[in-house]
Amino acid sequence: MTLAYFHGKKYNEDKKTFFENADIFIFPTLNEAFGLVLLEAMQHHLPCVSTTEGGIPGIIDEDKTGFLVPKHDAETLAEKIQTLLSDADLRQRMGEAGREKFEKEFTLEVFEKRMAEILRENV
């Protein structure tokens, strides 16, 4: 039985449909500055598993909104995925915590407010 698929790049409605039908979001990137796609996953209440690359540790709160794994550590990545696949309550809690973090820290409104504050401070 196959539990995971790699479908390649998705955009717009296709991407939204994938997020809405997923249970977890896995982003084992080796080279990423920020990981905007993780915010999209959190917006859709998905717990995330990703690497500690770039700014990703500022997005994912370890053991709260998802899991962080070292780059090139396939064994730990598989363990974290298995943990989420086998625990629906944990997936639910992490997904909700991720959505809350998204709403609190990463919406366009929050960005605009922070940008305005920075501009006022530096005028």
Pairwise CA distance, residues 63 & 47, whole Å: 10
Cβ contacts of 117 within 8 Å, gap of 6 or more: none
CA 14 to chain centre: 18
* Structure tokens that stand for 123 in this block: 């005028």
- Token readout for 63 is 């053991």
Whether 85 maps to a domain, the answer reads yes
| pTM for the full predicted model | 0.89
* Count of domains forming the chain: 1
- Does residue 46 sit within a domain? yes
Confidence at 122, pLDDT banded by 50, 70, 90: confident
pLDDT in tens, 74-88: 999 999 999 999 999
How much of the chain exceeds pLDDT 70, in percent? 97
The answer to the question of residue 1 being in a domain is no
Residue 5 lies in a domain: no
Dig out the tokens for 95 from the structure. Answer: 């997904």
User: Is the residue at 36 inside a domain?
Assistant: yes
CATH number at residue 71: 3.40.50.2000
Q: Could you tell me the residue range of the domain that residue 18 belongs to?
A: 12-121
Residue 7 located in a structural domain: no
Q: Return the residue matching tokens 């995330």.
A: 48
